[in-house]
Structure 1
Amino acid sequence: MPAYDKNDINRRMHGALEVLKHDLAGLRTGRASTALLDPIQVEVYGANMPINQVATVSVPEPRLLTVQVWDRTNIGHVEKAIRNAGIGINPIVDGQLIRLPIPDLTEERRKELAKLASQYAEKARVAVRNVRRDGMDDLKTDEKKHEISEDEHKRLGAEVQKMTDETIKEIDAAAHSKEQEILGK
């Protein structure tokens, strides 16, 4: 059985791209997005849970998020988790509803977020290159075991490189688009 699996390599490369898109969605651009609260964990019932498992997060207006906490006893925990998340949003408690007005971004904060977006993109590029290396190693192993020929090794190696180039191009496009959005261009 050959070690090289094109579908696995493709799946892993696109997995890195999906992680990047999820990370970028969590960056605040001055517009409200439920993805902004995705990374926040709330300590309730003796465990850490994602905010979307203890409340309903919605976007009633472009510059406002609301968090409808299901269990009244968890309101303080949710508010504390949002305050401590370091996302620069000040929660306003109104009964079982927590309002999160999205403030305007300062120029300095925009640059920080753009830098963070490029760091996320670099992490994704590194992940894709690691998948490429694994694929190339698998091809080398298959050739040594005489499961594929030298010509097939070269052809499949070019295929892996092409998948890598295409995925990195998508990563660059996603990062560039997010940076433009953050910088308000």
Structure 2
Amino acid sequence: MYVRDAKNREEVWLLEQIESMELDDTAFRSRDYVVAIDENSGTKAGFGRIRVHKGEVDVCELTSIGVLEEWRGQGVGAHVIERLLEYAGDDGFEAVYALTGEVEYLMQFGFRPIEEGRLPAPLADRLEEKREETDPNAVPLRIEVGRFRMPERLREAFKRATARQDDEDDGETAEDFGIDPDSATYKYDTGR
């Protein structure tokens, strides 16, 4: 498993995942995202982005972190966040903000809640927008880039991460649709 920059050709996949997870897609640009990839299968497992709000003083926001259901609980999101914070530090940001209802999840990495009145100007408006559109429980969090801490259990889980198989069987078979699977032919069957 590894985390890399998203590629332009992954834009449709990213948008589909963002929509299915009901995440924020404001000011979407695929080049702002990173993607977690299973190195054995090439399967995409998660993603996230940092959004820079330009102004008198630029502000960096961690947003749209998503992990596919079968990869959750294995450190994928943690490594996506770690990579994004590295990028923020490389870009000269000392702190990164998050506006989310997933407070406990981010606090394990060193994020801390801050008072709404202490948010930089662009994020105060963004918090209200986020509460109205995607996350009514969003609260502001902040981390100094150098204070990020990866729990060892998540680092180890990431090394062994595998997609969990969906145990649910919808129970539908060819016979349910009046098809005899032993004698059925298919539209493009060449008889070979």
Do the structures match in fold with TM over 0.5? no
Higher Rg: 1
Whichever structure has more strand as a proportion of its residues is: 2
Q: Normalization by structure 2: what TM-score?
A: 0.30
Q: Normalization by structure 1: what TM-score?
A: 0.31
Higher relative contact order (CA 8 A, sep 6+): 1
